[in-house]
A and B are shown apart, each in its own frame.
Chain A
């Protein structure tokens, strides 16, 4: 079962994409390895690696880079929040 990946705000605009589906494999098992996999696509995806303070959430909870990802998860990448 693929994972769903969401991108928000300035990151969404930079990538030109709001969401996509991706099949996990043995080399993509955490937020950090997923980020590296996506950044390896080249421009504009290198933004994921370059962005300072990139935040990530799994199933709508903020997580750290070493958090594991499982089949069917909803993973989101976004810049620091600026609401209120």
Chain B
């Protein structure tokens, strides 16, 4: 958890340093969008087809629980796949469109495990880590609603 931006290249270099067996790194970077296309469906606005403009986004979190939740998610990923190392960085505070929010990077011997574990960590982070987004729009502040699609994405990992 940090307010400052991160350097993706430097983080990946640090992740694989000392891991001579690392043959693969899969990474995901989440960014702040400048508009919310979800708002044009099911939203209350009358101007269908025009995405809501987002001027900035503020990320709130639950200090202490956030760290614990992320550690639990990474440790579950390590039980499911043979991973060499995992980096998770999540920013908090006020961010502008285009800014990086989150980085998940996974190193493993082969790509299959790195791809799967990276997606798993993001799916669980979205549904289990205590972060909340508030968008600043021309119409005022608006807390982002949780998405059903995120729950579905996370639940596929628990199917037998």
Q: Which positions in A face B, CB cutoff 8 Å?
A: 6, 8-10, 13, 53, 57, 60-62, 76, 78-84
Contacts and interface: CB of A to CB of B under 8 A. Distances in A.
A76 B147 CA distance: 21
Given A6-B62, A60-B65, A82 B146 contact: yes
Given A53-B146, A60-B68, A79-B132, A84 B102 contact: yes
Contact of B65 (A9, A10, A53, A57): A57
Nearest to B121: A84
Nearest to A10: B143
Nearest to B132: A9
7 contacts: A6-B62, A8-B60, A76-B65, A82-B133, A83-B90, A83-B102, A84-B122
Given A76-B65, A84-B125, A8 B102 contact: no
Interface of B: 30, 59-62, 64-65, 68, 90, 101-102, 122, 125-134, 143-147
Given A8-B132, A76-B62, A76-B65, A84 B146 contact: no
Given A57-B65, A60-B64, A76-B65, A83 B143 contact: no
B102 A78 contact: no
